[in-house]
């Protein structure tokens, strides 16, 4: 079984990448935004934690930026009638921590906001994952005390970050931490937001 890959991305599609590891190209399916959070070395090598999914007629690789994301993926696919594609959709829409919070709070509405997750599936996730995702504390995070950018400019920045592969929730969190944007060029603000996301 393959559990970890380190190499250079030679093809980056919507949800699939090809990772060149010493001349061998591995096709890996990843959640939306995963590549933006994956660890990168100075020479451009990307590290992915991998889940190898074996079926009678197929072996598929699913890549994640952290062990926590892979743990959440494996926990999701342990739920009846939840396959890898559904699990990827969940982790592409929210972080593993946000998923743990939604499960702990029995927030069916949050889960049904994810494309492809209906009410019955959301209820089953809440029921079957209760107590199985002790990833982090699930209490609400304190809101940062900052001066928010005008809505229009913030929307532009969030849109730009989302197009670069970050989850909407990640992009909004980074933009919310930027102050005094009205007096700064978009390019400068975008650079600062990327620096925050890289931490």
Q: What is the pLDDT of residues 126-146, one digit of tens each?
A: 999 988 886 554 444 444 444
Averaged over 55-84, what is the pLDDT?
Answer: 92
Write down the residue that tokens 């019955």 correspond to. 120
Contact by Cβ (8 Å): 21, 29: no
Averaged over 72-100, what is the pLDDT?
Answer: 92
pLDDT bracket for residue 34 (50, 70, 90): confident
Q: In the chain, what are the domains?
A: 4-64 (2.40.50.140), 67-129 (1.10.150.20), 151-197 (1.10.8)
Q: Which helix (H) or strand (E) holds 7?
A: strand 4-12
Residues 6+ apart with CB under 8 A from 139: none
Query: Is the model's pTM score more than 0.85?
Result: no
Quote the tokens at residue 61. 């690789």
Averaged over 185-191, what is the pLDDT?
Answer: 76
- Is residue 28 predicted with pLDDT exceeding 80? yes
Angstrom distance (rounded) from CA 154 to CA 148: 8
The conformation of residue 106, written as its DSSP 8-state character, comes to T
Write down the residue that tokens 């944007």 correspond to. 181
């Amino acid at each position: 079984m393959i559990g970890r890959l380190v190499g250079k991305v030679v093809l980056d599609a919507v949800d699939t990448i090809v990772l060149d590891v010493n001349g061998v190209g591995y096709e890996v399916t990843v959640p939306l935004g995963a590549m933006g959070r994956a660890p990168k070395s100075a020479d451009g090598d990307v590290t992915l934690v991998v889940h190898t999914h074996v079926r009678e007629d197929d072996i598929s690789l699913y890549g994640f930026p952290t062990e926590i994301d892979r743990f959440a993926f494996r926990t999701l696919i342990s739920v009846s009638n939840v396959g890898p594609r559904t699990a990827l959709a969940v982790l592409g829409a929210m972080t593993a921590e946000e998923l743990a919070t939604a499960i702990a709070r029995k927030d069916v509405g949050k889960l049904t906001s994810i494309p492809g997750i209906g009410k019955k599936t959301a209820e089953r996730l809440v029921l079957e994952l209760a107590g199985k995702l002790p990833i982090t504390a699930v209490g609400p995070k304190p809101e940062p005390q900052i001066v928010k950018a005008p809505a229009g400019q913030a929307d532009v920045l969030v849109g730009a970050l989302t197009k670069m592969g970050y989850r909407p929730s990640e992009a909004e969190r980074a933009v919310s931490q930027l102050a005094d944007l009205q007096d700064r060029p978009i390019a400068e603000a975008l650079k600062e937001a990327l620096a925050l996301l890289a931490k």
